[in-house]
Structure 1
Amino acid sequence: SSGKTDAGDIMYIFDIKFNDSDEIDRQYYILRDKKFVMVFMSNFDGDESINEAAELMAKSFEWK
């Protein structure tokens, strides 16, 4: 999926699910000009607070 950060940068979100596990890896790619940063999350047991923390980090990212 895709969206934008709080600063208005493009953000692509990729989920990787494993067939024989509850683990979900999520990658957030934040793009600006010709550079990017990635926020990576691994959630081993479906704890929603982990997903929320990763999303907060990605959405609040600001280039310096």
Structure 2
Amino acid sequence: MLAEHVLAWKHLWRRFDVHIQPTDQGFKSNVPMLLRLNMFHLLQAVSPNSIGLDIGVPARN
């Protein structure tokens, strides 16, 4: 089961990952990490298994 889970996430990241670099080298925030964190939350909340169901994306605090 773990191997299938890891493989599923590899496929998701291959499809949705982004590669960006800040134009200002003095910029202190890790923009790619913050973007990936939010993408991770979206990918967890929005599943292909929920297509056609009357559900929404949950709020995040």
TM-score (norm 1): 0.32
**Which is richer in helix?**
2
**Which is richer in strand?**
1
If asked which structure has higher relative contact order (CA below 8 Å, sep 6+), I would say 1
